[in-house]
Structures are given as C-alpha cells and as structure tokens.
C-alpha cells in the first residue's frame, strides 16, 4: 500500500482504503490486521494522483473518460504533457488526445459515461470546440440511423473549408492565419491539414489574390481578362486562338535545366536494372521530372497588335496552382477591313456612327485599360450571390445531366476516331430526315455544322481524359484554321 504523512497520521493513497474497507465488510479481513505500507515523503514530486492513476492503468485499462479526468488533474497541478506521458508510459500524442476531450460539451461527456455513445463518436466531436454546435449535431443524429464518426465530423465542419481544398492551397494556410483566420484540427485521425473556420475571410482572400494575379496578367496589355475559379469545358468556343512563338530559355533557365537533367540521369544509371527503387529515390525522380517540365513548358510570345485586341482567362487548376490561358480574340474584336466598311456605308453617313480606329486596316489596339471580369461582369460590380447548387436543384437531376455530358463527350470521341462509323451514321441521319414521316424522338444522333455547348457539366469535365483526347485531336485543325 502507498501512504503519505497527513498531520500526525498517515493517509492511504490510491484506492487502498476502499479495497480494505470492502474486505472488512465481506468479513475477509479483520479490522486489526496489520497492512504493510510504503510511506512516501510528503514533499515528493510524485503526486498522490500519480499513484492512483498508475495503479489503475497498470492493472486494468482505465476508462478513457477517467483517464481524461486524471490527466486534466495532473496538468492542473503543473505537469506538462511530456511529463504525464513519461510517468504513465504512453505517448505525448495519447495525452494530447485525452486532454482534447476537454473541448467536448460536458453533457456529451456524461452521455458517453453512461454508454450513450462510443469513444469514436465522442472523439469526433472534438473537431469543433463550439459546445452549442456540438449539442445541435447530437440532437440531430442521436435518433438517426447514421451516427458514424465521419458524419459527425462532416456536420461539425460543413461551414468550413478543408486545408486540402485547391482554393486553400492557392491562398495558403499561413496567409489565411496571418489575416486572422482560425483553424480546426482533428487529433484523432488524419485531417489533411485541418479546416479553415472562417469562410467569409477565406472567400475574400481567394478573390483578392485572384484579382491581383489578373492585374499582373493585364499589365501585359491584354484587352480583357476573365477570372473564374472553374472554366467549363468549351470555354473558348467561338473565340479565335492566337498562335504565339515559344519564348527561348534564358541562360539561367538553361543552366538549371542542365543541372536537373544531370541529376536525373545519374539516378537512373545508378538504379538501372533494379526492380525495387527506394521510395525516396522514386520521389526525387518525380520532383526532377516536374521541375524540368516547368522549364521546358515555354510561355508564348504574341504579336503586340494582337495582344491589344485579345484576352486571357485566369483560373486555378485542379491542384490549386494558378493557370493562365492567353491569346483569345472575341468575334466583335476581330479586325475589320476598311474598304469593306466604306463600301457598306452610305457616303452621306460617312464619319457617323462607328468611332472605330481603322486607319491601318485593323481595330485599334489602344485601350484605356484592361477589363477584368468574373462571371461576365467587371469585378467590383454588385453581383447576385451564387445560388447553392445543393439547395436549388435536386442532386439526382444535376448528376444525370453531368453524367450525360460525360457520355456525350465519350460518344463524340469514339465517333471521331472511327471515320467509317461516322460516315454510316451520317448517311443514316440523312436518310431518316428525308424519308421519316413521323416526328420520332429519342435519338442521340445529330448531324449539323454547329457547336453544342453542354450547360450542365461537372467541374472536372474540362480536365477529364476524354476531353484532353478531343482537344489533342482538334488541335492540328484549329492551328490550320487560325492561319486562314
């Protein structure tokens, strides 16, 4: 037994007194039976709570809630997480996780103590320290069939933004926190960096940074800049694409590329013929490939006159990196032949109506300033807030429309790579249109020279494998058409 001096007598520590009282009550021990004790120094650094907690943990696993309360008591007495962990042979992470339960509403702790929920469910509530919100979520799910921890975490973070979100990657968690934003973290499982808790601040930072990047691109002299977080598939439909010349590498870029290539080849030679390449070497080869590809992907140099009438799209790629697509001319900005304009204008009306500068046969390349737009409107204008897709349109209908867009694109790709099938389908369409006497519907075959835009599409359609195959197949013809 462990005892400590208390006034003129000794006090039993841990649960010893309770055990002895029980034995006496059961007539298994006489009240006068001597009990050997270890009397600790009253000034010892080892607390009585240490004795009690160690006794419980080293015999029968202590209930997590009791362990949590004991850890809190020790921390309140001045012990650090590392000291508590060392004293009870657990990791500091275990101590942090148990102490994290302090962020759970007391009412939920009582429910857990009465076996009203599992430990995994209780730990899920620690992701958000707002006790009122925790109780709201519990009121919703406690009578629901879906009480999984992931559902609790989802509901507690549904107004937050994951740190792995591409917009968060673009802004940077450090900049978000520097602006006063707060984070939520889950100590009990991987959380991909946590959640950004202030969506209003986050949206403002995303908008400001995108606008700043757009202004940098506008300084190149473009007539207009379209800013969007997502560009739909076919975003450049109806626009003429400028053909530029790749910019040559600078001396510094050439030297950096040569250095990367030398390291890449050295690693390849060193591990040539080996079936199993160490993970760190494989990762390094991937980094070298990425860095070389960045240098090899040269920016295009455009004709300054064309820049003055063309524009660019500023967006984010799927990984959160800035993506800029330059060199697109709208139909209304195309150069107009001066002779054709004069022939089509009544001499009496000459000099009236059109104030376009046509002195050199081209539209004027001089603009007061680049127009930066988002959603078709100049940035800064009062725009209606975007509607919540999940709350306005039923999900099944939206999903069907998005899948239909994917299927339509896949059919186009297959037919485009099968000229014999395409010819038969074209003939079938012509015969049906010629001899059909009823207005039969339901066919997915159309044959006409027009571009069909898919208004409902998933945000990843533009980056899908099929979309890239279609773009690669159309690229040669587009380049030929640009020079006509």
pLDDT above 50 (res 359): no
Tell me the pTM: 0.51
Helix axes 64-76, 106-113, angle to 10 degrees: 140
Please state, as a whole number, how many other Cβ atoms lie within 10 Å of the Cβ of residue 108. Answer: 20
Phi then psi for residue 315, to 5 deg, are: -150, -170
pLDDT above 60 (res 35): yes
Predicted pLDDT at 325 = 92
C-alpha–C-alpha distance, residues 101 and 46, integer Å: 25
Tokens representing 330 are 């709208």
Higher-pLDDT residue of 187 and 334 is 334
CA distances 214 to 86, 285, 325, Å, are 54, 33, 11
C-alpha–C-alpha distance, residues 375 and 332, integer Å: 19
Predicted pLDDT at 251 = 92
CB 157 within 8 A of CB 177: no
Predicted pLDDT at 92 = 82
Residues 214-246 pLDDT 10s = 999 999 999 999 998 888 888 888 899 898 889
Predicted pLDDT at 244 = 86
Could you tell me which of 233, 234, 156 has the C-alpha nearest to residue 195?
A: 156
C-alpha–C-alpha distance, residues 365 and 335, integer Å: 10
Starting at the edge strand found earlier in the chain, the sheet holding 240-241 runs 240-241, 322-329, 311-316, 224-227, 371-374, 377-378
Predicted pLDDT at 448 = 63
Residues 433-477 pLDDT 10s = 765 644 455 566 666 656 666 777 777 788 888 888 888 887 876
Higher-pLDDT residue of 301 and 433 is 301
Mean pLDDT, all residues of the chain: 77
Predicted pLDDT at 77 = 80
CB 443 within 8 A of CB 423: no
User: Among 39-48, 101-110, 299-308, 404-413, which is the least confidently predicted range?
Assistant: 39-48
Q: Which residues pair with 300 in a beta bridge?
A: 246
Could you tell me which of 320, 325, 323, 359 has the C-alpha nearest to residue 341?
A: 359
Residues sharing a CB contact under 8 Å with residue 319, sequence separation 6 or more, in sequence order: 166, 169
User: Among 40-54, 122-136, 265-279, which is the least confidently predicted range?
Assistant: 40-54
C-alpha–C-alpha distance, residues 227 and 143, integer Å: 45
User: Among 16-25, 266-275, 285-294, 318-327, which is the least confidently predicted range?
Assistant: 16-25
| Surface-to-core class of residue 468, CB atoms within 10 Å of its CB (0-12 exposed, 13-18 middle, 19+ buried) | exposed
pLDDT above 50 (res 164): yes
Residue 325, helix vs strand vs coil: strand
Residues sharing a CB contact under 8 Å with residue 295, sequence separation 6 or more, in sequence order: 249, 253, 256, 257, 260
Q: What is the DSSP string of 340-376?
A: HHHHTS-GGGTTSS-----TTSS-----SSPEEEETT
Predicted pLDDT at 348 = 47
Q: Which residues pair with 373 in a beta bridge?
A: 226, 378
CB 126 within 8 A of CB 112: no
C-alpha–C-alpha distance, residues 134 and 241, integer Å: 53
pLDDT band at 324 (very low <50, low <70, confident <90, very high): very high
pLDDT above 70 (res 116): yes
Predicted pLDDT at 22 = 76
Q: Which residues pair with 371 in a beta bridge?
A: 224
- Rg of the chain over Cα atoms, rounded to whole angstroms, equals 35
Report for 188-202, 244-258, 328-342, 440-454: range of highest mean pLDDT: 244-258
């Amino acid at each position: 037994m462990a005892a400590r001096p208390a006034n003129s007598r000794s006090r039993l520590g841990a649960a010893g007194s309770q055990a002895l009282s029980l034995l006496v009550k059961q007539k298994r021990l006489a009240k006068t039976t001597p009990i050997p004790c270890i009397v600790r120094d009253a000034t010892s650094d080892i607390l009585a709570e240490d004795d009690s907690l160690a006794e419980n943990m080293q015999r029968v696993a202590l209930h997590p809630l009791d362990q949590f309360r004991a850890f809190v008591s020790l921390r309140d007495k001045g012990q650090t997480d590392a000291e508590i962990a060392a004293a009870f042979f657990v990791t500091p992470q275990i101590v942090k996780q148990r102490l994290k339960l302090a962020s759970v509403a007391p009412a939920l702790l009582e429910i857990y103590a009465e076996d009203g929920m599992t430990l995994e469910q209780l730990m899920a509530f620690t992701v958000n320290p707002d006790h009122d919100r925790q109780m709201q979520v519990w009121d919703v799910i406690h009578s629901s069939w879906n009480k999984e921890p992931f559902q609790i975490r989802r509901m507690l973070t549904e107004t937050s933004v994951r740190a792995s979100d591409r917009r968060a990657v673009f802004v940077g968690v450090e900049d978000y926190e520097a602006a006063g934003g707060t984070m939520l973290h889950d100590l009990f499982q991987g959380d991909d960096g946590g959640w950004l808790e202030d969506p209003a601040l986050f949206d403002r930072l995303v908008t400001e940074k995108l606008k700043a990047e757009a202004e940098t691109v506008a300084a190149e002299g473009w007539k207009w800049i379209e800013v969007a977080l997502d560009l739909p598939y076919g975003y450049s439909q109806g626009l003429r694409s400028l053909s530029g010349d790749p910019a040559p590498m600078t001396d510094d870029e050439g030297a950096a590329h040569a250095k990367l290539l030398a390291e890449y080849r050295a690693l390849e030679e060193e591990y040539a013929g080996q079936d199993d390449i160490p993970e760190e070497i494989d990762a390094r080869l991937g980094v070298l490939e990425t860095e070389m590809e960045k240098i090899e992907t040269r920016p295009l140099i455009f004709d300054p006159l064309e820049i003055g009438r063309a524009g660019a799209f500023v967006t984010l790629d799927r990984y959160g990196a800035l993506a800029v697509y330059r060199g697109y001319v709208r139909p209304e900005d195309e150069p107009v032949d001066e002779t054709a304009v004069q022939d089509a204008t009544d001499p009496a009306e000459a000099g009236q109506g059109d104030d376009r500068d046509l002195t050199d046969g081209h539209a004027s390349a001089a603009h007061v300033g680049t127009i930066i737009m988002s959603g078709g409107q100049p940035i800064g204008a009062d725009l209606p807030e975007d509607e919540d897709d999940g709350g306005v349109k039923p999900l099944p209908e939206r999903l069907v429309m998005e899948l239909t867009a994917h299927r339509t694109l896949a059919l186009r790709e297959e037919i485009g790579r099968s000229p014999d099938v395409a010819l038969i389908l074209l003939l079938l369409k012509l015969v049906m249109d010629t001899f059909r006497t009823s207005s039969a519907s339901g066919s997915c075959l159309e044959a006409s020279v027009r571009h069909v835009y898919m208004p409902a599409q998933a945000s990843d359609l533009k980056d899908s494998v099929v979309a890239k195959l279609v773009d690669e197949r159309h690229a040669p013809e587009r380049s030929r058409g640009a020079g006509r």
